[in-house]
Amino acid sequence: MTNVKKSEKLYDYYEAAIVEGSLRSGERLPAERELAKRFELSRTGVREALQQLKAKGWIVSKRGGGHYVSAQLQQDIADPILKILDNNPNAHFDLLEFRHSIEGDCAYNAALRANDVDIAALRKAYQALQKAYQQYDIEAEANADAEFHLAVAEASHNLIFLHLVKSLFSVLQTNMHSSITKMFENRIAREALMNQHSAIYDAIVNRQPSTAKEAAHQHIRYVEKLLEDLAREENRRERSRRRYQNN
pLDDT per residue rounded down to tens, the chain (247 residues): 565 677 888 888 888 888 777 777 788 899 888 999 988 888 888 888 899 988 888 888 887 778 988 876 666 666 677 676 667 767 777 878 888 888 999 999 999 999 999 999 999 999 999 998 888 887 888 889 889 999 999 999 998 888 778 777 767 766 666 666 666 667 788 889 899 999 999 999 999 999 999 999 999 998 888 878 777 777 777 777 777 776 5
For residues 220-233, b (16+ Cβ closer than 10 Å) or e, as one string? beebbebbeeeeee
Sign of torsion over alpha carbons 73, 79, 84, 86: positive
Q: How far apart are CA 52 and CA 64, in angstroms?
A: 20
Query: pLDDT at position 77, please?
Result: 60
Sign of torsion over alpha carbons 86, 246, 233, 145: positive
Residue 59 dihedral angles phi and psi, to the nearest 5°: -135, 165
Q: In this predicted model, what pLDDT tens digit does every residue of 148-180 receive, in sequence order?
A: 999 999 999 998 888 778 777 767 766 666 666
Residue 126, phi-psi category: left (phi > 0), alpha (psi -120 to 50), beta (remainder): alpha
Q: In this predicted model, what pLDDT tens digit does every residue of 21-35 receive, in sequence order?
A: 777 778 889 988 899
Residue 60, phi-psi category: left (phi > 0), alpha (psi -120 to 50), beta (remainder): beta
